[in-house]
Structure 1
Amino acid sequence: MEERLQKILARSGVASRRKAEEMIREGRVSVNSEIVRELGSKADIERDEIRVDGKLICAEETKVYVMLNKPRGYVTALSDPQKRPLVIHLLPELGVRLFPVGRLDYDSEGLLLLTNDGGFAQRVQHPRYRISKTYRVKISGRLNAAEFNRLQKGLELEDGKFAPDEVALEEINPKSSWLTMKISEGRNRVIRRAFEQLGHEVLRLIRTAVADLHLGNLREGDYRLLKGWEVQQLLTPRKRSGSKILPEKEK
């Protein structure tokens, strides 16, 4: 089956789609010994000989699915111009080239999936499939009832309205508050921007679950392979649920 070259390269873990497009424009990609520079060019990875910088790109036969507890201070990418630590360096050699499913920014932590299955990655991270992600969020200051109601009903950000699927206030301390939030979208830094609009800085952002797959007791920096039923569970459509407030605890 023919697909766009940049899609093949991204799914094979060579680079992100944007970086793959740059590689094509730079003349670093060849199909059947012919250099390809057109971004609309297509190929069949099962039939054609595709090379990047002379290295043959092969279709991955063994699909691998990894859950990593990402620490703060790591970049969710395969390379970084600033030479910061990469999440991929937390994993041992597993015999396949893995790439992250979606992103957790440099200062965020928690559940991150990595795989060599492009179809799985697309399904999990694309907004139309509405696969939820659950976060624990620590913010500066005391979140009051009016601010909570605004968050629950939705906030108008510069790139459109943001409303969590569920939000629960866990704990209020003298100088900070903890919440649990479930969302089904992946706009850049959307949780941080929402709280900034309410006048609160996000001090910690921890992803604890993707759909029904939970981080559990996986220690920071550790990983484990997903079981077959967990992979299938992630691909099962889910219904959206409403918001709720958990009992508030004060210190």
Structure 2
Amino acid sequence: MPAKRRAPETRTRRTAKGAGSRPPSTPGRPVRLHKVLADAGFGSRRYCEDLIASGQVKVNGRTVEEFPCLVNPGHDRITVAGKPVTLPDQQVYVMFFKPRHTMTTMYDPGGRRTVADLVRHPSGARLFPVGRLDYDTSGLILLTNDGRLANTLAHPRYGIEKTYRAVVGGLLTDEDAERIQQGLYLAVRRYGQTRGAARTSPARIKIVRRERGQSSAAPRSQPTGRAGRPVDPLEPELRGEVGKGDRSRPGPRTVLDITLTEGRNREVRRLLAQVNCRVKKLLRIRIGPIELKGLRAGQWRDLTAREVQALRRAVSEGERRAAQTRKTRSEQLPEGAQ
């Protein structure tokens, strides 16, 4: 019998409690089952909860039927679809330039191309993507078997910044850019149903360039390349992804960078649609301190030791911020409500 799911409100509340201060799974210490599965490289904690709920996970030969489930990784025998679960001996961190029309999953029942088809690490480690990118969005994806780091990077509670480069039709005005930066109301959908609207967190927008069409010239205040376009230090890495195919449809457009700390479904496209700007191309170029450099679409590489250290520092800072936010909110509650 599949595990009984907790009500969405209860799950969100209990997951949030103390999330930033939990130590990694260690033998001899009881921990939640979905955390052990995430640390073993099965996916995000949310995905691992779904995996447990599907009835595929057993502990000591018995199917898990209730949440939460505490296990001892050093003593309990855990299996997924009949295969034993083991914690990784080596943590692996990979930067991947996801092409368009690629699923950010390890398997697709529809047979579409996935990141697993393009990233085959020689260590044989079970890697999973950190967060998601839409099927028609390209750019930076991190893959790892470090469940704790992946959870912190992906969860909006920790405020890890993600930067996207967008090409939109039309000229985005400074006023509309400011509206997006202050936050707009977007519909909230959960479990296939609309549950009202919520305001987005503040964003940052940097206009890379505005193009008025074939007759437009680059602004004199910017250095230009051979074609008269502003020199962009990211252009070599982004060539073939941003701007490709647009020449057949000349007209005004805006190239911009937008930085978010959330990860709502298609958030960048929906924000820009609110100000009547249709996204033509979208590319993620940064996650926290990690920038997309030196790769072409479909290529990947291991993060350097310095990049891993920077990523861990960003994760630690995010966890400290989240813990401080929880403490502040708790102190603001009326006496007796805590």
TM-score normalised to the size of structure 2?
A: 0.65
Q: Is the 8 A contact 1:66 1:224 kept in 2?
A: yes
More helix by share: 2
Offset of residue 44 of structure 1: 2.0
2:297 alignment partner in structure 1:
220
> Are 2:74 and 1:46 equivalent residues in the alignment?
yes
Aligned match of 1:64 in 78, 83, 92?
92
Q: Is the 8 A contact 2:31 2:70 kept in 1?
A: yes
Q: Over residues 164-209 of structure 1, what are the superposed CA-to-partner deviations in whole Å (9 max), with x where a residue is unaligned? A: 4421111222332110111112122111110111111111111111
1:23/1:92 Cα in 2 relative to 1: closer, same or farther (>3 Å)? closer
Offset of residue 26 of structure 1: 4.5
Offset of residue 86 of structure 1: 0.5
CA distance in 2, matches of 1:19, 1:132: 22
Structure 1: unaligned runs, 5 residues or longer: 241-251
Q: Is the 8 A contact 1:4 1:42 kept in 2?
A: yes
CA distance in 2, matches of 1:153, 1:24: 39
1:153/1:30 Cα in 2 relative to 1: closer, same or farther (>3 Å)? closer
Q: What secondary structure sits across from 1:120 in the alignment? A: helix
Q: Is the 8 A contact 1:24 1:39 kept in 2?
A: no
> Are 2:200 and 1:162 equivalent residues in the alignment?
yes
Which range is displaced more, 132-141 or 62-71?
Answer: 132-141
2:106 alignment partner in structure 1:
78
Larger Rg: 2
1:98 alignment partner in structure 2:
127
CA distance in 2, matches of 1:19, 1:197: 30
Which range is displaced more, 92-101 or 37-46?
Answer: 37-46
CA distance in 2, matches of 1:226, 1:199: 38
State the Cα RMSD in Å: 2.2
Aligned length, in residue pairs: 240
1:92/1:188 Cα in 2 relative to 1: closer, same or farther (>3 Å)? same
CA distance in 1, matches of 2:44, 2:312: 22
Aligned match of 2:149 in 105, 117, 120?
120
1:131 alignment partner in structure 2:
160
Q: Is the 8 A contact 1:70 1:112 kept in 2?
A: yes
Offset of residue 47 of structure 1: 2.3
Aligned match of 1:234 in 287, 311, 315?
311
Offset of residue 23 of structure 1: 4.3
1:245 alignment partner in structure 2:
none
CA distance in 2, matches of 1:25, 1:131: 29
Give % identity.
40
Output the amino acid matched with 1:73: H
CA distance in 1, matches of 2:36, 2:56: 14
Q: Is the 8 A contact 1:6 1:39 kept in 2?
A: no
Offset of residue 136 of structure 1: 0.6
1:194 alignment partner in structure 2:
271
TM-score normalised to the size of structure 1?
A: 0.86
Which range is displaced more, 229-238 or 201-210?
Answer: 229-238
Counterpart mapping for 1:18-29 below 5 A: 20-29=48-57
Q: Is the 8 A contact 2:183 2:203 kept in 1?
A: no
More strand by share: 1
